[in-house]
Amino acid sequence: MAYRESFYRYLMTLRNSSSKSEIAQFANDAQYDTTFPKQEQNYEKLSDYLELNASYLSSMSIFDETYKMYEEKMSY
């Protein structure tokens, strides 16, 4: 079975402090979230966490889009 990095690790590759992109902003903010489930790969668990704890995420559609990108990258 191939190694699959966690969603958080992938998300950290999308950080860009000078970008106005919602995904980059999500990544920038998530890096300061000390309770983010850093080893998680499961969509439902991540979604539940973000819905309840991530006040910095303005819309769950940003997470959905980012998770889709993550899945595409991990499906090699």
Query: Do the Cβ atoms of 27 and 36 come closer than 8 Å?
Result: no
Distance from the Cα of residue 55 to its chain's centroid: 14
Q: What is the pTM of this model?
A: 0.91
Structure tokens at 5: 């990095």
Query: Do the Cβ atoms of 48 and 9 come closer than 8 Å?
Result: no
Structure tokens at 52: 């309840």
Give the chain's domains with CATH numbers.
Answer: 7-74 (1.10.150.260)
Q: Which residues contact 37 (CB under 8 A, 6 or more apart)?
A: 8, 45, 46, 49
Please report, in tens digits, the pLDDT of each residue of the chain (76 residues total).
456 899 999 999 999 999 999 999 999 999 999 999 999 999 999 999 999 999 999 999 999 999 999 999 998 6
